[in-house]
Chain A
Amino acid sequence: MKLSQSQIQDIERYLDYHELKQVDLRVEVLDHMAESIEAAMENGVSYVDAFNRQRERWNPELESYSSFWLGWALSGPKMMIKKCAQMMRKIYLFALLSTVLISGILFFILKLLPLNVLGNTLDIIIKILFVIPFLVSLLLLYKIKQTSLKTTYQYFYKTQAWGWSLCGTLFNPILISNKPYFGIEIRYVKLLWPVFLIMVCLQFYKIYQKHIRVIKRMA
């Protein structure tokens, strides 16, 4: 027994109530609920009872939820926030490990160079390293806002990437100090922040790509 268009709209309204707007999850939940209701109706359960039973099953997954990984101020359907939190943890882990490794390699390469000659050049490179992620994330934020469909990746990008690029700019040592960043001696610690920022932004770029992939799939 197939659900009518108005019965599907009942489910849509239920999902709207829980603010599950992200199409990648919404499509899945709607189909699951509809299939379950149809199966129950085939076993003689009324539409209203079957729908209520489904609402009871899905309420815990769709209730308002916050995560430390995204910031307590943000809340949304539990299944969406949990998916975002998982992405965030993965990004931090990847960024931390790659930062330690890449900064180490850079440090040993830079140690071999005559810093008294290259100090200014390095400062320019560091300036670019700070500016690029900010500009790229700004551009992607604009592009992601232009897309018509909402996805989990879009929510994640809009709430997390923007903050990160802003953070990278506000804590930019070139902006807050007039002194040369490297001076006459290269220090490993000074490489960590710009490299970490780049690594995080690279991961956010992947998130943007995933958003575009979902949009294409749904088209």
Chain B
Amino acid sequence: MSNSKLYKGSLNTIILKLLDEQGKMYGYEITQKVKALTKGELQITEGALYPALHKLEAEGLLDVEVAKVDNRLRKYYMLTEAGEKETVNRLAELEEFIRSMQNLVNPNWSIN
């Protein structure tokens, strides 16, 4: 994918935002949701997704729940209280970044 580098810095925010909306999700589900929302533009690789999830968990922003689904165990991730607050902050930062980029690249265009 040509523009994956542009998304890379926002991966953690994307994960937090999705979990904020969906409540709890598992790894594969996150990759598919992102793929669907971006119409295939962004495909998160396993090598990027799991380190990001583990880092967010280590930072105390995500909690984990394990459930038996079909014939295997599944790890669900969900936001902690600190994660919910951090999501608001990071989304605000991301929106600010998008606005700044918009001003730099095309001041006449608006996302709203």
Contacts and interface: CB of A to CB of B under 8 A. Distances in A.
A3 B70 CA distance: 9
B17 to A, nearest CB: 21
Contacts of A145: none
A82 B55 CA distance: 11
Given A58-B46, A217-B66, A32 B28 contact: yes
Interface residues of B, number: 23
A35 B46 contact: no
B9 interface: no
A90 B66 contact: no
A31 B50 contact: no
Interface residues of A, number: 28
A24 B50 CA distance: 11
A57 B47 CA distance: 9
Interface in A27-42: 27-32, 34-36, 39
Contacts of B45: 57
9 contacts: A27-B73, A31-B72, A57-B46, A58-B46, A60-B47, A83-B51, A83-B54, A86-B58, A217-B64
Interface of B: 26-29, 32, 45-47, 50-51, 54-55, 58, 64-66, 69-75
